[in-house]
């Protein structure tokens, strides 16, 4: 190695960032993390948020929803409980470093020269970008094909009941289930991809990716400061989503209790993941009137068809000139509204996706629905059963191709590993 | 329709943006476009650049490389020359509006209520985000299977010769060729996806998507102000790329001449698109030493192994203690360097991609190589032939699965449509 290169083999990601700053001839000081980063455009310099991995709850649930997603479901390839624990310990350590924007291990460029780098390196020089990493446990972790591989069968909460088949589901086994899951959200997709790649690499020999999904645009907001985004049907999505600031509702609808002896899940949540393909070409040939009638809101402002603005409460009783309700009874808004669902709410955290084009030249695009709930049996299943049978939108324009459910353990304190309460 | 909603059916995207601003309770004034946009985070407010569609050259070539890509290749489904011209006119009008951040047609929410909206709507409320739309013509536009469908066979430039088969190519027909292509680059992927979707929709009945690729992280810089990004091998990529500021080199290596009677291509360029999958898992198990020897640069700083910093010229003659060159002769840098290639250079504009995981749980990830050249026969083909036979990196870790070549016509003036010179 030439002398001049020596310095490249030791620095932390922070140090490498310094190099970047010098190269760019410009530095921006990050408020939350305190290090300097040089980036070509101002847009790139504003992804400096770093969140804490440890806390009462896992990050990535009520955290302000980032713009990009890489989600992966894993199958365990081991039958050893100790292997699983070791993996969760390794993942915990890695997640903490990744979220801080640090390199893994001795660093991508700081490890032994004769060994593979500990970090794959593509996030070197990138700020933390608001990365959150959220871990979940699928039903098959507890029992798979009737086999209790890891001595966890008795620890499965009732809430983690397998999702029923919903009318119209056209599930592709390539997007169903998983023993474990990782949700990586960030404001830079390269940072999210880097996280999943390196966590997958750490799992080598213990778990492998079963399926994965990238999302490029959020379809809900988790804080009141966020503007409601649009889904690929072109409508605002998530207007009525729960927000982090609604602490009473978050406690009531999101955080799991530890009843029935399953104290390990207290402070955690349940994550429903559904890959919903939109029949884009059909939708795009539908009149504005029918689109709005299917949703129950206007396309422009997102206001309910009963009037007002985006945040006006829908008035399901208000009738138009012909005596019919202005918001059709089979519209998505009507059927999904808490008033029609025993007051139930969910914390949604979905993303738009486009996975290229299919062999017919149609965009393979849709909504990767993610929702955190306290109990899927009462909050997700009844609503989805109603939608799958009656919802104009679901029946005509959507096709659910993937589905999975995970128990998301609570956050952890210093020295603990994610999911430790389940294994102790 | 309730009265309150009337106002939602007329506004331009600009007007809708105003609604967004009010909802967010914050407004940021864009320097380049002059309208106010409300967005939740500062990062989101900094994608306000709007570029001009018309000009001497098409945008999206020397434009500062945006962070996100949606690329689509199209097959013409018509045999009518007039249909092709009509499509190019429609695409021109739409591209100009899309790049300005305006809605298409009468607007997503401003068209006839009984008709499908002119715009699919998912970019409503989003700023222009630096969108550029670049059109190209594949060899099959001029002649396909020996048939001159559009009376263009005699207008095919010699430079648009079919690419030869390169050693090691493992092409998937799903990612090869195309009569037409559109490269949409933006700093917000939703804006790029919206552009391709709507242009594809406009083409219905005339052309359909043959294949498409999303890219999430640029792998080169096209201006000196941009920091060199990293590819998914974790190395800086594009250190020696041509930059817009090098006007003499851009003239020499990028803009096509109109010789041999093909004056229509003067001021245009040729685009080489190659979908290169990285054998991620193999690469990740390779020692740092071998990784750096394969590239010829250090992973940390990106400096050549002969010493210095990222931008130091490689010294291919400098030997290490054992007498061997510090930069291996079969490294990527050595084989791709202009000194080894008759001084040839390319303007690269590639992107990282990750298309989920394959059925073995391996990341389906790599580099979507895009390069603009004055003559592919002298600038791309010889370099790639050398790499495909001798380059350690290419031989061991890369697998080219897609390939296409396009003639990119020059920019257009007021009243013209893209490619008009070819058809007149």
- Give the whole-angstrom CA distance, residue A167 versus residue A37: 51
Q: Is residue B31 part of a domain?
A: no
Q: Is residue A95 part of a domain?
A: no
In a mutational test of the B interface, the residue from A26, A234, A327 whose CB has the highest number of chain B CBs within 10 Å is A234
The contacts of residue B322 (CB under 8 Å, 6+ apart) are none
Whether the CB-CB separation of A419 and A137 falls below 8 Å is answered with yes
DSSP H helices, B11-145, are: 13-24, 81-100, 139-142
Identify which of B46, B217, B235 has the shortest CB distance to residue A121. Answer: B235
Nearest CA in chain A to B306: A2
- pLDDT digit string (tens) for chain A, length 424 residues: 333 333 333 333 333 333 333 323 222 223 332 222 322 333 444 457 899 999 999 999 999 999 999 999 999 999 999 999 999 999 999 999 999 999 998 755 656 788 899 999 999 999 999 999 999 999 999 999 999 999 999 999 999 999 999 998 999 998 999 999 999 999 999 999 999 999 999 999 999 999 999 999 999 999 998 999 999 999 999 999 999 999 999 999 999 998 778 999 999 999 999 999 999 999 999 999 999 999 999 999 999 999 999 999 999 999 999 999 999 999 999 999 998 899 999 999 999 999 988 878 888 999 999 999 999 999 999 999 999 999 889 889 999 999 999 999 999 999 999 999 999 9
Q: Is residue B296 part of a domain?
A: yes
- Give residues with Cβ within 8 angstroms of B108, minimum separation 6: A234, A299, A300, B117, B118, B119, B120, B121, B124
The shortest CB-CB distance from A355 to any of B46, B75, B356 is to: B356
Q: Determine, yes or no, domain membership for A83.
A: no
- Please give, rounded to a whole number of angstroms, the shortest distance from the CA of A278 to a CA of chain B: 13
- Structure confidence at residue B5 as a pLDDT band (50, 70, 90): very low
Q: In sequence order, which residues have a C-beta less than 8 Å from that of residue A419 and are 6 or more positions away?
A: A88, A135, A137, A264, A409
Distance CA B383, CA B378 (A): 8
- For B99-134, letters b (16+ CB in 10 Å) and e give bbbbbbbbbbbbbeeeebbbbbbbbbbbbbbbbbbb
Apex CA A235: angle with CA B99 and CA A311, to 5°?
A: 120
Instruction: Test A298 with B8 for CB contact under 8 angstroms.
Output: yes
> What is the span of the domain harbouring residue A269?
168-175+228-236+246-407
Taking CA atoms, what residue in B is nearest to A18? B301
In a domain, B389, yes or no: yes
Partner residue facing A9 (CB), from B190, B230, B300:
B300
- Written as six digits, the tokens of B212 are 């498409």
Looking at the predicted complex, does its ipTM rise above 0.85?
yes
Q: Quick check: is B333 in a domain?
A: yes
**For residue A64, which residues of chain B lie inside 8 Å, CB to CB?**
40-41
Encode pLDDT of A313-359 as tens digits.
999 999 999 999 999 999 999 999 998 899 999 999 999 999 988 87
Q: Evaluate whether residue A359 is within a structural domain.
A: yes
> Count of CB atoms within 10 A of residue B93's CB?
15
Number of Cβ pairs < 8 A linking chain A and chain B: 315
Q: Which tokens hold the place of B164? A: 């030869």
Q: Is residue A382 part of a domain?
A: yes
Query: What pTM, to 2 d.p., does this model score?
Result: 0.89
- The beta-strand segments (E) located in A284-362 are 347-348, 351-357
Give the pLDDT confidence of B395-404 residue by residue, as tens digits: 899 999 999 9
CATH number of A383's domain: 3.30.70.1030
Q: Residue B23 is nearest to which of A108, A285, A310, comparing CB atoms?
A: A310
Q: What is the C-alpha to C-alpha distance for residues A191 and A63, in angstroms, rounded to an integer?
A: 17
How many structural domains are present in chain A? 1
> Which residues of chain A neighbour B109 with C-beta distances below 8 Å?
288, 298-300
Enumerate the residues of chain B whose CB falls inside 8 A of the CB of residue A173.
none
CA distance B233 to A116: 12
Q: Find the CB nearest B213 among A44, A189, A356.
A: A356
Mean pLDDT of B271-283: 96
Structure token digits, residue A156: 């499965």
Of A43, A223, A354, the CB nearest to B43: A43
Q: Do B2 and A287 touch (CB under 8 A)?
A: no
- Is A325 strand, coil or helix? strand
Interchain pair B216, A365: CB under 8 A: no
Inter-chain touch A2–B326, beta carbons under 8 Å: yes
**B-chain residues near A223 (CB < 8 A):** 40
* φ, ψ of residue A20 in degrees (nearest 5): -60, -40
Residue of A nearest to B312 (CA): A4
CB contact under 8 A, A307 and B5: yes
Closest Cα in chain B, distance from residue A383 (Å): 25
* E strand or H helix at A371: strand A363-373
Closest CA to B105 of B209, B206, B180, B199: B199
Quick one: DSSP state of residue B257? P
B108 contacts A234? CB cut-off 8 A: yes
What pLDDT, on the 0 to 100 scale, is given for residue A28? 28
CA dist B267 → A82, B51, B57, B197, B250 (Å)? 65, 18, 6, 28, 11
Chain A residues touching residue B210 (CB < 8 angstroms): 357, 361
**Distance (Å) from the C-alpha of residue B262 to the closest C-alpha of chain A?**
32
Contact criterion met (CB < 8 Å) for B307 and A3: yes
What is residue A25's DSSP assignment?
T
Q: Which residues of B touch A44 (CB under 8 A)?
A: 67
From the list B209, B303, B354, which residue is nearest A8 (CB)? B303
């Amino acid at each position: 190695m030439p002398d001049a290169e020596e310095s490249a083999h030791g620095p932390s990601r922070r140090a490498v960032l310094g190099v970047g700053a010098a190269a760019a001839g410009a530095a921006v000081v990050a408020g939350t993390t305190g290090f300097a980063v040089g980036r070509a455009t101002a847009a790139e310099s504003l992804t400096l948020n770093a969140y804490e991995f440890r806390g009462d709850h896992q990050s990535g649930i009520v955290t302000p929803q980032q713009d990009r997603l890489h989600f992966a479901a894993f199958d365990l390839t081991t039958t050893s409980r100790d292997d699983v624990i070791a993996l969760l310990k390794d993942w915990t350590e890695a997640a903490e470093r990744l979220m801080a924007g640090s390199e893994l291990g001795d660093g991508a460029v700081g490890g032994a020269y004769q060994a593979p780098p500990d970090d794959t390196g593509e996030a070197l020089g990138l700020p933390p970008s608001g990365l959150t990493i959220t871990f979940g446990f699928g039903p098959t972790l507890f029992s798979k094909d009737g086999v209790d591989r890891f001595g966890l069968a008795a620890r499965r909460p009732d809430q983690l009941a397998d999702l029923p088949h919903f009318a119209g589901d056209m599930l592709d086994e390539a997007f169903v289930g998983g023993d474990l899951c990782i949700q990586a959200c960030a404001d830079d997709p390269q940072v999210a991809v880097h996280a999943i790649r390196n966590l997958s690499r750490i799992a080598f020999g213990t778990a492998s990716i079963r399926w994965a999904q990238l999302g490029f645009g959020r379809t809900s907001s988790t804080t009141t400061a966020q503007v409601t985004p649009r889904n690929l049907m072109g409508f605002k999505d998530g207007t009525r989503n729960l927000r982090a600031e609604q602490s009473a509702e978050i406690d009531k609808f999101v955080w799991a209790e530890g009843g029935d002896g399953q104290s390990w899940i207290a402070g955690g949540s349940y994550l429903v993941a559904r890959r919903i393909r939109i029949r884009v070409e059909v939708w795009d040939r539908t009149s504005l009137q029918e689109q709005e009638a299917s949703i129950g809101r206007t396309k422009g402002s997102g206001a309910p068809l009963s009037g007002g603005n985006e945040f006006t409460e829908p008035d399901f009783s208000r009738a138009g000139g012909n005596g019919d309700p202005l918001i059709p009874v089979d519209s998505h808004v009507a059927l999904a509204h808490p008033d029609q669902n025993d007051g139930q709410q969910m914390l949604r955290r979905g993303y738009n996706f486009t996975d290229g084009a299919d062999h017919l030249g149609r965009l393979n695009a849709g909504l990767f629905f993610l929702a955190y709930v306290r109990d899927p049996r009462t909050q997700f299943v009844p609503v989805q059963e109603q939608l799958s049978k009656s919802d104009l939108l679901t029946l005509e324009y959507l096709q659910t191709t993937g589905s999975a459910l995970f128990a998301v353990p609570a956050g952890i304190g210093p020295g603990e590993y994610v999911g430790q309460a389940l294994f102790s």
